Structure 1
């Protein structure tokens, strides 16, 4: 198939989790023989931090104007077999209106920020999606599962809302044998609603255990934050260094944004990355987490510094490593970019007009979803 994706970014991972998601998904689609055109708005904050300016598995077009883009590539978009518009795409409403009116193929909205999007829709300040567009898209692909999908269908009239969770790229994230430099670390861009649990579960733990070694990596943290003396802050860590970062930790910390906790069923990219590296994860708690990892066997749950410190000091190296390996096996089985690519193809195959185009018998089988 020919697939067109309007995404926030695939060329720059600076300050966003979209790029790594698109990179893994697009690469796996390309492996299966599909042709992808990725359209990204050329904005200055990504232009100065492009860690993959020319992805080898798709054609990438950086555009400055929607009008010029549609003038140059409109015919290609119209004729594509599937057109996907992602969350936080600049001028996403304008693009979505044009795509759903003109495109001949399947149209889909890919929400990498579902709970945030719904909260913005409720307030009336969502700049990339409006309620009128939702029923027009053929598919609503969501980073969040569970009951929120029924809400999208019933409250907003989505024709079909289905989960397309984040994933990990096993070619990039895998265990590395090296001495642990830190007892506990955290990787994530600064967010006001994550800062309080970060301070409680990481900074307070560091203050309670002065002999421990701690690290936080991520962009946009205010300069005035007073990190504990036994904690290091790394300003930005490009994706190619994530594997080394996780593998240098005895445990890693996962903290979920407020809206994702409220919605549940919202695993983060970082959660899967760390698990793929066989590093045991200590996570906050949210509804549905057991659908992705078995608590106590594949993941550790905590809400206080004391609970976190208990894991750091009491779990033996043997038990810690065994938990990391169990989490890695779960990720490789259920949460890879290849798995997500197949799921996406399943959803597209379920659309009536594509049942005669996709190979539903012989070779790769893309089973049909309910529509």
Structure 2
């Protein structure tokens, strides 16, 4: 037996692109009125429920039946609204779709909507879009009049049903635990994860990022002279990345994980928190839970990695086949997938190269003596011998390292926020990749993040030895490999002298990245993994359910 009818006021989707079809949505609104009248004529007592919350962007002037979003109600509209029996309009005053950087207001609007939902306790929340419930506007019958008892909830604190205007479940709610996305100071893991968060958000998913308030990378960034300025720039370059900083002792995991569909836990998360998240999954959590490892500790400090309790996790995302196989062979997890890092091409892309002011630039940290000899052979000695103009960016350079750079004639320019690296690449003719020793000798197939980013920026790359055992690139076409210092000098000399040669390598490397190694490719792979774990395709691909009539 039908107990209620919902009237869905969705104009022909083409009006989203051609406003001349229905400038003010009057045709569509009239269609809703006629449909409502037809329902009432057939069944005078059948309730007709209209409750909608509009999301940010693509929002138009609704007729009065949907109130409005974008512009406040006019005086005449308010008079009409007050005259309609059983209708209460709760109007907010954000104009989100016209703002260049609306994200603070988006958060405030979402909090307002949740407060309204808690106060009014609706039976059904209908979202006018695929966004999460905490979005901009809510219009509903607050007094419950006309809603049959079978639809009216007995307890105001219960969670309402959530429907979207596409007739599918809301998009995936993702929780990411990591060391830091605010700071990339000596923290290359932030590069890829920022791109993943951005890509997931662009596909309509809700992504919440949590990082500890005392993260060492963030604290070190604040000590940099331009640290605060860099933080502000991060917010501009990554508008979808809004980490929440938590105090570990005060973290309410039950509240954080409530309603999550997918939880990603990066390997720099403290082991105790890794275990606690797993316990929540064991004790009834309905989310999929994946551990993400992008470091060499599996081979350099295996006892430490064995201390992570992953028994309640669905599996491990490892940034290379060799690390994936290690997790399985050691019995640290039951399931593991290879999930390489990749370039965030929204940020890393070619800049105009008409201001090449130096021969070579290298972006990297000195570190823990993991490549001191390699830096001497593949960077310092070639620059000194060829008398190249060169600049180095990075941190953790001890006094002997700074002296070595000076003696080689290399300019040391200190820390460089990662979003500024593309500009640095555009001002040099060539760059080099010098992998840390564990990747060169014990973890073949893992290039780490820098080669992806360099090639995405269209700069020729010469690499010290590493084995591309997974065929990510084509050596000799996408980049050059120097087996020793002599070959490094020969390759650098040839590239710097030959503009056409530089262009050919830059084009080939960029083409490979764009075809195989972007964050979009990796998110697509992640969604495939989630689907193999039983997650619904409708949840994983919410925007694909859009339909545009011919």
* Alignment TM-score, normalising by the size of structure 2: 0.60
Cα separation, 1, equivalents of 2:336 and 2:342:
18
Contact 2:317 2:324 (C-alpha < 8 Å) held by counterparts? no
Superposed displacement of residue 107, structure 1: 0.8
3-state SS in 1 of match to 2:392: strand
Which residue is equivalent to 1:136? 312
Which residue is equivalent to 2:42? none
Which residue is equivalent to 2:335? 160
Superposed displacement of residue 120, structure 1: 1.6
Which residue is equivalent to 2:523? 341
Cα separation, 2, equivalents of 1:359 and 1:29:
10
Runs of at least 5 residues in structure 1 that lack an aligned partner in the other structure: 365-371
Change (3 A) 1:214 1:101: same
Change (3 A) 1:80 1:240: same
Contact 2:464 2:484 (C-alpha < 8 Å) held by counterparts? no
Runs of at least 5 residues in structure 2 that lack an aligned partner in the other structure: 1-171, 546-550
Cα separation, 2, equivalents of 1:80 and 1:186:
40
3-state SS in 2 of match to 1:10: coil
Superposed displacement of residue 205, structure 1: 0.5
Cα separation, 1, equivalents of 2:254 and 2:189:
24
Which residue is equivalent to 1:203? 380
Superposed displacement of residue 161, structure 1: 1.0
Based on CA coordinates, which of the two structures has the bigger radius of gyration?
Answer: 2
Matched, 1:112 2:294: yes
2:261 to 76, 81, 95: 81
Which residue is equivalent to 2:455? 275
Contact 1:165 1:267 (C-alpha < 8 Å) held by counterparts? no
Give the superposed CA RMSD: 2.2
Contact 2:478 2:509 (C-alpha < 8 Å) held by counterparts? yes
Superposed displacement of residue 22, structure 1: 1.4
Using the TM superposition, name which of 287-296 and 25-34 deviates more.
Answer: 287-296
3-state SS in 2 of match to 1:221: coil
Change (3 A) 1:348 1:272: same
Change (3 A) 1:41 1:223: same
Superposed displacement of residue 357, structure 1: 5.5
> Per chain length, whose mean CA-contact separation is higher, i.e. which structure has more relative contact order (CA < 8 Å, sep 6+)?
1
Cα separation, 2, equivalents of 1:361 and 1:5:
19
3-state SS in 2 of match to 1:224: helix
Cα separation, 2, equivalents of 1:337 and 1:238:
19
Question: Counterparts in 2 of 1:300-311, with a 5 A limit?
Answer: 300-311=480-491
Contact 1:84 1:110 (C-alpha < 8 Å) held by counterparts? yes
Cα separation, 2, equivalents of 1:289 and 1:325:
23
Cα separation, 1, equivalents of 2:419 and 2:308:
40
3-state SS in 2 of match to 1:80: coil
Change (3 A) 1:362 1:174: closer
Cα separation, 1, equivalents of 2:215 and 2:315:
31
Cα separation, 2, equivalents of 1:345 and 1:19:
20
Cα separation, 1, equivalents of 2:503 and 2:374:
26
Cα separation, 2, equivalents of 1:78 and 1:175:
41
Cα separation, 2, equivalents of 1:31 and 1:362:
9
Matched, 1:292 2:472: yes
3-state SS in 1 of match to 2:278: helix
